[in-house]
Structure 1
Amino acid sequence: MQYYDSATVLYLDGKFIKAPEAKTSLYSQSLHYGYAVFEGIRAYNTHNGTRIFKAKEHYERLKRSAELMHIPFPYDINDLIKQTYKLLEKNKLKDAYIRPLVYCAPNMTLSPATEVSIMICAWEWGAYLGTQLQKVCISSYQRPNPKSTHVEAKASGHYINSILATTEAKGKGFDEAILLDMNNNIAEAPGANIFIEKNGKLYTPPLGNILAGITRATVIRLCKTLDIECIEKHLSADDLKNADSAFFCGTAAEVIGIASVDEAVFPAIWTETLGATIQRTYKALVLEKQNYEVII
């Protein structure tokens, strides 16, 4: 996929420049050690104009990720939101995926960063996992142990784990993977959180060993709005395989149903599941087709 062309503009350290003209150091800690933090954000073309969904929450998480990883964050969140809207306007984007990245200056040591840069880019991107129900497998790779790193930080280096799990899954003929945590509980997909449906209730892994997804939090709030019981608890692989249905959620993936896990095919018809209800409601929310702003 081509993410930019000669006319594409990005935001870099307070300036808007053409993407092909952007430069960075080959001696950056971020390049050598994966020492950077980022966000994935979406903008939608609503009847109220282009709206960035949960912009403040995403930039607050970016700041929190930087703090956890001892990366300086000398930026004002409200200004970053303002500059992001300008970026969309300059690139004539109404529906877009937005990627802010805070990366570190040249440093070949393993000491904390003292100087950083911020880059924000955007491009048109459909749902990350597509629109078809996903055929997934339990990965042989585990989610990183929370005692080894801050798993709640959206840090660049963490996604090596995600690349390995997705590559393994696709090599076996699956669409995506599901990672377990160090206690063999269901954690998440390489780039999305997971919910399962059983006997009219939704279940999702608790925080602690997973990324605190902004879409995950939105889904939980939608459940309250829709009077759907949603329980956060540890889930085994057997719990997942014996579920009635399941779905992934994330900013890039949005809400996408799962057809099967390994050899287990979910018995429920997707369009009749709680996940499908959440999928429709989430789409209405981000497109501002209904006024959920009071409760979300």
Structure 2
Amino acid sequence: MYYNNNTLIYLDKKFVKASEATTDLYSQTMHYGYGVFEGIRAYATKNGTRVFKIKEHYERLKRSCELVNIPLDYSVQTLVDATNMLLEKNNLSDAYVRPLVFCDPNMALTRPKEVSIMICAWEWGAYLGDKHLRLNVSSYCRPHPRSIKIEAKVCGHYVNSILATNEAKDNGYDEALLLDSDGYLAEGPGANLFFEKDGVLFTPQLGNILPGITRATVLELAEKLGVEVQQGLYKPEVLALADSAFYCGTAAEVIGIASVDDTVFPKAWTDTLGKKLQDAYSEFVRQSEKTLRTTTAL
């Protein structure tokens, strides 16, 4: 699904076949989830491949490493160049890119002295599909920000996401919605939440959620479109009275939400702010770098 015998990955400054790459089973990342990663999308445009907000993603990767004391001695530009070369070598334009920083063998609970970085890519459609989602409020909550670095994209944090997603699917829903430890709306297992009420867009404030790059892009687009957005703390009861809602994330892009715990949102998706932003996002990420520079200059 992700690679074949000809697929190349970037591993510690070399391009090697994915089928021949190896790692050490005593890695701290394998045993404790002590590693960081990113999810990045590349899009085919009329002027070539555009890797959307690639510098922002690698800046966050380096920031995640710093927050959890993982040394990563690579510049953002080195990682950008490696990614572009990887896509070219694998003849990929529309692709999902996954950088992973993983630690050397160490059975102690101490910071690593050496780490490795792997970058791989594969063709992948919208992670949550294209149908509107039926959500289930999870019995699992997001970790408290004093228990982890919530703004870091750390491998081990996603056990929480896996548990919530599987619970929702086992209950007959498409995806989960997690609250924070105080019972306020947080986010999905791998996406940020927005909801609409009376022509205003609302989203949980930073502090208990991952500061998503797609979330930031949606906020930018909303401002350009003249859409009012409020960020704050909201209980599930507020969401139940909303007109519409959507998730957004690099893998999921922008995807509408049909219902939460069988409470159906009343507004037709075609008439929602979410649909307006979904269209704007789809157009924006597929603009070529040349077109984007020209538009910005104007």
Q: So what's the TM-score if we normalise by structure 1?
A: 0.98
Which secondary structure does the structure 1 equivalent of 2:124 belong to? coil
Task: Quote how far apart the aligned CAs of 1:279 are.
Answer: 0.1
Which secondary structure does the structure 1 equivalent of 2:195 belong to? strand
Counterpart Cα distance in 2 of 1:53 and 1:47: 15
The residue that corresponds to 1:267 in the other structure is 266
The residue that corresponds to 2:279 in the other structure is 280
Which secondary structure does the structure 2 equivalent of 1:163 belong to? helix
Counterpart Cα distance in 1 of 2:283 and 2:47: 13
The residue that corresponds to 1:208 in the other structure is 207
Counterpart Cα distance in 1 of 2:117 and 2:110: 20
Counterpart Cα distance in 2 of 1:22 and 1:280: 39
Task: Quote how far apart the aligned CAs of 1:113 are.
Answer: 1.1
1:294 pairs with 255, 280, 296, which one? Answer: 296
Query: After the TM superposition, which residues 183-198 of structure 1 pair with which residues of structure 2 at under 5 Å, given as runs?
Result: 183-198=182-197
Equivalent residue letter for 2:149: H
Query: After the TM superposition, which residues 150-229 of structure 1 pair with which residues of structure 2 at under 5 Å, given as runs?
Result: 150-229=149-228
Equivalent residue letter for 1:108: M
Task: Quote how far apart the aligned CAs of 1:154 are.
Answer: 0.1
Counterpart Cα distance in 1 of 2:292 and 2:91: 26
The residue that corresponds to 1:43 in the other structure is 42
Number of aligned pairs?
294
Task: Quote how far apart the aligned CAs of 1:294 are.
Answer: 2.8
Percent identity of equivalent pairs? 60
Instruction: Confirm or deny: 8 A CA contact 2:10 2:120 kept in the other structure.
Output: yes
Task: Quote how far apart the aligned CAs of 1:291 are.
Answer: 4.4
The residue that corresponds to 2:132 in the other structure is 133
Counterpart Cα distance in 1 of 2:292 and 2:193: 26
Counterpart Cα distance in 2 of 1:119 and 1:185: 36
RMSD of aligned alpha carbons: 1.1
- Structure 1 runs (4+) greater than 3 angstroms displaced: 289-293
Answering whether residue 231 of structure 2 is matched by residue 232 of structure 1, we say: yes
Which sections of structure 2, spanning at least 5 residues, go unmatched?
none
Counterpart Cα distance in 1 of 2:219 and 2:213: 10
Instruction: Confirm or deny: 8 A CA contact 2:64 2:154 kept in the other structure.
Output: yes
Counterpart Cα distance in 1 of 2:50 and 2:232: 33
Counterpart Cα distance in 1 of 2:292 and 2:86: 27
Counterpart Cα distance in 1 of 2:47 and 2:250: 20
Which secondary structure does the structure 1 equivalent of 2:296 belong to? coil
Equivalent residue letter for 2:235: S
Which secondary structure does the structure 1 equivalent of 2:194 belong to? strand
Which sections of structure 1, spanning at least 5 residues, go unmatched?
none
The residue that corresponds to 1:243 in the other structure is 242
Counterpart Cα distance in 1 of 2:45 and 2:272: 26
Counterpart Cα distance in 1 of 2:24 and 2:82: 24
Counterpart Cα distance in 1 of 2:232 and 2:47: 38
Equivalent residue letter for 2:296: V
Answering whether residue 22 of structure 2 is matched by residue 23 of structure 1, we say: yes
Equivalent residue letter for 2:30: L
Which secondary structure does the structure 1 equivalent of 2:120 belong to? strand
Which secondary structure does the structure 1 equivalent of 2:136 belong to? strand
Task: Quote how far apart the aligned CAs of 1:223 are.
Answer: 0.6
The residue that corresponds to 1:100 in the other structure is 99
Task: Quote how far apart the aligned CAs of 1:34 are.
Answer: 0.2
Counterpart Cα distance in 1 of 2:47 and 2:58: 22
The residue that corresponds to 1:59 in the other structure is 58
